[in-house]
Structure 1
Amino acid sequence: MSESQNLLAEQRRALIVDEVRRRGGVRVNELTRRLNVSDMTVRRDLDALARQGMVEKVHGGAVPVAEASSHEPGFEAKSTLEPTAKEEIARAAAGLVAPGSAVALSGGTTTFAVARRLLDIPDLTVVTNSVRVADVFHTAQGAAASARPGAPRQAPATVVLTGGVRTPSDSLVGPVADQAIRSLHFDLLLLGVHGISAEAGLSTPNLAEAETNRRLVRSARRVVVVADHTKWGTVGLSSFASLEEVDVLVTDPGLSPAAREEIAERLPELIVAGEDDTGRAADG
């Protein structure tokens, strides 16, 4: 199968997942008409999505996977999901970070990917409640310190890791983290999310993490959410911000046209990473 055919299949399956989440279920015959493909193609797509845990197959169609809103996957489990999309999102998000700025990064596998893209931006002050994100910078600084004498070096980032209680996704949350963040002010917040929707806004299955994320949002002049298309329509146990509190959403081309329209009505800017040379979609 050619690369273009693979891309079409990915986009088609993303549309199916979006329809299932938005409507609470779809039938095979509805999908064949909407997507203008054969019954066999739709069933193959549903089989593939069911194997990935994206939908649950039922007689004649598919429904959303029954997952508790309080379920929180670990970092390693999440790191295997949508790796290509996360790298494209990271590249586009890093382009929003100016040298010398104060940047906050929340926990998550997408912000982890962003952190690796920030290593070449000089004079940053980075505040994070993610053990994994902090490790990215500390490892890079260790490598720079051991470089041969005379090799050119840039000013390393100043990294502040909040304290707190560790979550399954290796974020530090709770009163200690909240207190550390409360007195700080960031030029930019790069924020990963468990779920994002028009009704629930930004959400997480972890109550303590929700409060810490609220603190991060309140302390930032500009809020940039980094989230692949599978996060749209997902709702965690606790909402911590509305879409109106977000300045930019950076996502991938798998986001459906219907979702893009909803987002464009509420957000000042939508960046679809990898869609064109600039990574920017037309603003709604």
Structure 2
Amino acid sequence: MPSQSDARAEWRPRHGAYWLIILPALAMLVLLYLVPLADVLVTSVMDPKPGLDNYGLLFTSTSVQKTLLTTLRIAALTTFIALLLGYAVAYAMRAANTGQQRLMLFCVLLPFWISVLVRSFAWIALLGSRGPVNAGLMAWGIIDEPLPLVRNETGVLIGMVHVMLPYAVLTLYANMRGIDVRLVAAARSLGASRFQAFRMVFLPLTRPGLIGAGTLVFILSLGFYVTPALLGGGKVLMIAEYVAVQINDTLRWGLGTMLAATLMLSVLAALWALSRILDVKRLFGA
């Protein structure tokens, strides 16, 4: 039998080969991600002068605070609506037969093949004062004059929910597929009604999927730029657009990088806090 020293000697060349394979990807990660990220962090504390003055604006600037609150509110509302609609769609997909599941899954995945920019312009056309939505409501006598559905927070929410809904559906559907249907049947056989079996058995089992989908949708919603910029019409300012204005228009690089760094650190802190409570790898099916 080979000795332990022989096994270590055989492992060393293999180990070196693995590093040779990983090294190009690792170098790209450092050069294209970590170095620019470090530059952003340094700029946030060095421009226009060294110190934490830029971060002090989080507590003193009304415009910065308003932008942060708007971003958090819209992201939270988007997450809530996407989870509500996504849960219903995922539940229907789980209950459908194989052919229907494939068709529904195709419809859920279809928006991924269309640019966010195209979808945003499509919503502007649909929700505009002369669009088919307002025209249909007026034709049915539901409203007397067009509703303001774009260039405000309503339009931003509709557009963002449309983009985020597939993420919620796919995460929840993956969670629901792993639930043993016999558990619900057992609850029914013990005298529980459909609603009681759902509320007391099925819903608690989908809690990891709800947390995972909610976390994913909320984090992605925090960094939205194109949809709020187009459907908000400049009236709904979120962090990403505010950062772009500070860097491209007003040339306040320190403020812009500070907000970008704050957003990144907040997301990392939220994920860290979540990992202390739940198994994040299991939560996202890794």
TM-score (norm 1): 0.24
Structure with greater proportional strand content: 1
- Higher Cα radius of gyration: 2
Structure with greater proportional helix content: 2
